[in-house]
């Protein structure tokens, strides 16, 4: 893969479009995130950091988990995402439990031992930045005995009956991003247990969360899947053979009479993986 293709695959859309994609796709990931948060058993009244909080969707779930006496600080580098998050929280009735701050996950603007736990979804370890320093930085702001959890999408099957086409789509620059060619195997997200070990975290655990959908699809789920298609396979047509390109257009375009989401037997699943461990006491 050429550098220009990799660069193009990693370019993010404008903030408004990105926010809209996050909002629309949320129904597909909410259940997995809730299961993961439940597994963490966050203590009532505890204080935590949502690193790379985006538009605040997980901050709300985390605040529910720690209860009225707890507090969640959401941190993100994007002012546009934070503005949306603040507006959402104001309408939720939980503004007293959640606050937001602009900042870089690689240089957290907090003192050592500030939080009881840190959570980071689809951020740490999922970008092309070296992951080990990020994990160490998360651990730095957590008190001894507290927990560090990172979670991200790790797999999916979205085109039932067409495994070869889906494999081809997943092998495009967009499909494998951020796991671009030349990236060391130990930097892949599913190798995060090694990052935790090198960062000195203890009692490390990996967990997998699977969610699925099947026809008939609700409008929310259908819209979420359409958004997921557009985010997973961005501008992929130039990398496909003519035959695969036509099959992709036939199955993955909502305007197509053969759009796969309209099939009466449609079924799909997607997988999130979480790694968590304790800061050494």
The reported pLDDT for the residue numbered 178 is 63
Beta bridge partners of 267: 214
Task: Tell the burial category of 31 from Cβ atoms under 10 Å away from its Cβ (0-12, 13-18, 19+).
Answer: middle
The reported pLDDT for the residue numbered 181 is 62
Q: H helices then E strands: how many in the chain?
A: 10, 7
| Tens digits of pLDDT across the chain (281 residues) | 233 333 333 445 577 888 888 889 888 889 999 999 999 999 999 999 999 999 999 999 999 999 999 999 999 999 999 999 999 999 888 899 999 999 999 999 999 999 999 999 998 877 667 899 999 999 999 999 999 999 998 899 999 999 999 999 999 988 876 666 667 888 889 999 999 999 999 999 999 999 999 999 999 999 999 999 988 898 899 999 999 999 999 999 999 999 999 999 999 999 999 999 999 98
Give the C-alpha separation, 151 to 123, whole Å.
8
Give the C-alpha separation, 22 to 25, whole Å.
5
Give the C-alpha separation, 10 to 180, whole Å.
10
Domains of the chain: 3-278 (3.40.50.150)
The pair of structure tokens assigned to 44 is: 């009532």
In the DSSP assignment, the letter for residue 74 is E
Give the C-alpha separation, 172 to 10, whole Å.
12
Give the C-alpha separation, 114 to 143, whole Å.
6
Give the C-alpha separation, 255 to 171, whole Å.
25
Q: Which residues are catalytic?
A: 127
The pair of structure tokens assigned to 172 is: 């495009």
> Phi and psi for 113 in degrees, rounded to 5?
60, 30
| HEC sequence for 2-71 | CHHHHHHHHCCCCHHHHHHHHHHHHHHHHHHHHHHHHHHCCCCCCEEEEECCCCCHHHHHHHHHHCCCCE
């Amino acid at each position: 893969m050429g550098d220009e293709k990799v660069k193009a695959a990693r370019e993010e859309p404008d903030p408004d479009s990105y926010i809209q994609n996050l909002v629309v796709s949320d129904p597909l990931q909410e259940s997995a995130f809730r299961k993961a948060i439940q597994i963490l058993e966050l203590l009532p009244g505890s204080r935590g950091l949502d690193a790379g909080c985006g538009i605040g969707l997980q901050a709300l779930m985390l605040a529910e988990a720690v209860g009225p006496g707890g507090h969640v600080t959401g941190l993100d580098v994007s002012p546009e995402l934070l503005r949306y998050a603040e507006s959402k929280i104001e309408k939720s009735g939980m503004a007293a439990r959640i606050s937001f701050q602009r900042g870089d996950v690689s240089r957290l603007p907090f003192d050592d031992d500030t939080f009881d736990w840190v959570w980071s979804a689809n951020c740490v370890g999922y970008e092309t930045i070296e992951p080990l320093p990020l994990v160490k930085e998360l651990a730095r702001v957590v008190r001894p005995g507290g927990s560090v959890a990172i979670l991200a999408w790790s797999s999916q099957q979205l085109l039932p009956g067409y495994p070869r086409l889906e494999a081809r789509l997943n092998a495009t620059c967009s499909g494998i991003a951020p796991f671009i060619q030349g990236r060391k195997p130990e930097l892949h997200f599913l190798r995060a247990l090694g990052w935790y070990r090198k960062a000195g975290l203890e009692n490390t655990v990996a967990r997998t969360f699977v969610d699925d959908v099947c026809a008939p699809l609700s409008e929310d789920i259908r819209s979420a899947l359409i958004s997921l298609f557009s985010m997973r396979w961005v501008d992929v047509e130039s990398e496909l053979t003519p035959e695969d390109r036509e099959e992709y257009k036939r199955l993955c375009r909502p305007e197509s009479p053969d759009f796969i989401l309209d099939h009466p037997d449609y079924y799909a699943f997607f997988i999130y993986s979480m790694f968590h461990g304790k800061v050494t006491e």
